[in-house]
């Protein structure tokens, strides 16, 4: 999932960013409400995590403006105040959940997963291509029932490829999702990580599943 986190306290934002990244999320950070509104309008996020009290536009104003523009990305408010009236105000403004500070990363991730399930009611935690399986909750992979050890970035790359299967994913999209960065045509990092996946997934005696599609990028599919 690609997440937008809007938090004006730098230390808190970095703590949350690191925690979410460690759980496999791709995270963009906004320091105020105006930046959050701009990023949410131009990017297809899976969820928005918005501090209620921010410089510029507050989180509730940001959500109201997004909803008026027809942007229905799930929103979880992060707030120091958690009185009933505050929660009602946030939910009535168009928010989907309201989490009081302080909170644990594990609870935040659980709420993110809940929002994803609501958005995709027919989805499961398992992604499958042939005999390759990826558990998006446990963050584990297996082929033919045999576990595959993956690093965090390898997991994020495989998740992106399997989510898009049988369609290929470009290098640009991979860089933005896995490394949360702009694409540099000179970098070879995507090829390196795809080769890591090939060695782990395209096992001797099994059909190759990780392929290069010239001019388009990379794909996971049975051919």
pLDDT tens digits, 6-60:
999 999 999 998 888 877 788 899 999 999 999 999 888 889 999 988 998 989 9
- 9 and 98 inside one domain: yes
Q: Which of 97, 119, 141 is the last residue of a domain?
A: 119
Q: What is the mean pLDDT of residues 184-188?
A: 67
- 101 and 190 inside one domain: no
Of 70-84, 122-136, 139-153, 183-197, the range with the highest mean pLDDT is: 139-153
- 151 and 96 inside one domain: no
- 65 and 114 inside one domain: yes
Q: Which of 103, 119, 135 is the last residue of a domain?
A: 119
CATH number of the domain at 84, please: 3.40.50.2300
Q: Is the pLDDT of residue 110 over 80?
A: yes
> For residues 51 and 6, is the Cβ–Cβ distance under 8 A?
yes
- 87 and 187 inside one domain: no
CATH number of the domain at 171, please: 1.10.10.10
Q: Which of 60, 85, 119 is the last residue of a domain?
A: 119
- 9 and 109 inside one domain: yes
What is the domain extent for residue 89? 2-119
Q: What is the mean pLDDT of residues 69-77?
A: 91
Burial code of 8-38, b = ≥16 C-beta within 10 A, e = fewer? beeeebeebbebbeebbbbbbbbbbbbbbbe
- Output the 3-class SS for the chain: CEEEEECCCHHHHHHHHHHHHHCCCEEEEECCHHHHHHHHHHCCCCEEEEECCCCCCCHHHHHHHHHHCCCCCCEEEEECCCCHHHHHHHHHCCCCEEEECCCCHHHHHHHHHHHHHHHCCCCCCEEEECCEEEECCCCEEEECCEEECCCHHHHHHHHHHHHHCCCCECHHHHHHHHCCCCCCCCCCHHHHHHHHHHHHHCCCCCCCCEEEECCCEEEECCC
- 105 and 157 inside one domain: no
- 91 and 30 inside one domain: yes
Q: What is the mean pLDDT of residues 77-104?
A: 83
- 113 and 134 inside one domain: no
Q: Is the pLDDT of residue 119 over 90?
A: no
Q: What is the pLDDT of residue 31?
A: 93
Q: Under the phi-then-psi rule, with left for phi > 0, alpha for psi from -120 to 50, and beta for the rest, what region is 180?
A: left
To the nearest whole number, what is the mean pLDDT of the chain? 86
Q: Is the pLDDT of residue 94 over 80?
A: yes
Separation CA 22–CA 31 (nearest Å): 21
Confidence of residue 117 (pLDDT cuts 50, 70, 90): confident
Task: Give 82 or 138, the one with higher predicted confidence.
Answer: 138
- 142 and 165 inside one domain: yes
- 149 and 111 inside one domain: no
Q: Is the pLDDT of residue 124 over 70?
A: no
Q: Is the pLDDT of residue 75 over 90?
A: yes
Q: How many domains does the chain have?
A: 2
Confidence of residue 62 (pLDDT cuts 50, 70, 90): very high
Task: Give 122 or 65, the one with higher predicted confidence.
Answer: 65
Confidence of residue 206 (pLDDT cuts 50, 70, 90): confident
- 32 and 83 inside one domain: yes
């Amino acid at each position: 999932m690609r997440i937008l986190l809007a938090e004006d306290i730098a230390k808190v934002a970095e703590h949350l960013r690191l925690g979410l990244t460690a759980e496999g999320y791709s995270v963009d950070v906004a320091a105020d409400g105006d930046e959050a509104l701009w990023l949410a309008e131009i990017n297809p996020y899976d969820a928005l995590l918005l501090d209620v009290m921010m410089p510029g536009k507050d989180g509730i104003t940001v959500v109201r403006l997004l909803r008026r523009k027809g942007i229905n990305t799930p929103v979880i408010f992060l707030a120091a105040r958690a009185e009933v009236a505050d929660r009602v105000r946030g939910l009535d403004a168009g928010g989907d959940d309201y989490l009081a500070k302080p909170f644990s990363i594990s609870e935040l991730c659980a709420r993110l997963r809940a929002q994803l399930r609501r958005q995709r009611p027919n989805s499961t935690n398992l992604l499958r291509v042939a005999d390759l399986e990826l558990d998006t909750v446990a963050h584990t992979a297996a082929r033919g029932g045999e576990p595959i050890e993956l690093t965090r970035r390898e997991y994020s790359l495989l998740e992106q490829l399997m989510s898009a299967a049988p369609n290929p994913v470009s290098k640009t999209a991979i860089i933005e999702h896995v490394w949360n960065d702009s694409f540099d045509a000179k970098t070879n990092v995507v090829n390196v990580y795809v080769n890591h996946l090939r060695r782990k997934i395209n096992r001797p005696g099994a059909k190759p599943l990780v392929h290069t599609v010239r001019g388009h990028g990379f794909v996971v599919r049975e051919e």
